[in-house]
Amino acid sequence: GQNIDQPTEMTATEGAIVQINCTYQTSGFNGLFWYQQHAGEAPTFLSYNVLDGLEEKGRFSSFLSRSKGYSYLLLKELQMKDSASYLCAVVDSNYQLIWGAGTKLIIKP
């Protein structure tokens, strides 16, 4: 079966750095997405990785290792507005998105 694993919840302090991990086992791989979802809102696109390595976009970076079936999302200089759920999703061999259950990130002052 196909599986995406993420921690259910994480807590971090404002101004700090947090790393959210995602491991996957899917039938094929055609890319990995990270989305942000604030409570009661729709998911919004953060990043897309298809090749190994680190993609940096402002305070957010995403890393991929295809051989390990592993990705992480790194958030720097955390702000209160970063409190949200972070969803990892993998594009499988049929070009369907397989979603993780999401990681709820709580930022404390």
Partner 1 sequence: IAGITQAPTSQILAAGRRMTLRCTQDMRHNAMYWYRQDLGLGLRLIHYSNTAGTTGKGEVPDGYSVSRANTDDFPLTLASAVPSQTSVYFCASSDGQGGYGYTFGSGTRLTVV
Q: Enumerate binding residues for partner 1 (CB under 8 A).
A: 4, 8, 30-31, 33, 35, 41-45, 48, 87, 89, 91, 95-97, 99-102
Residue (78 or 89) nearer to partner 1, CB: 89
Residue (4 or 107) nearer to partner 1, CB: 4
DSSP string, 21-63: EEEEE-SS-S-EEEEEE-TTS--EEEEEE-SSEEEEETTEEEE
Q: Residue with structure tokens 């995602």?
A: 22
Write down the least CB distance from residue 15 to partner 1, Å: 29
Write down the least CB distance from residue 23 to partner 1, Å: 15
Write down the least CB distance from residue 75 to partner 1, Å: 20
Burial class (CB in 10 A: 0-12, 13-18, 19+), 86: buried
Residue (18 or 87) nearer to partner 1, CB: 87
Displacement of CA 20 from its chain's centroid (Å):
6
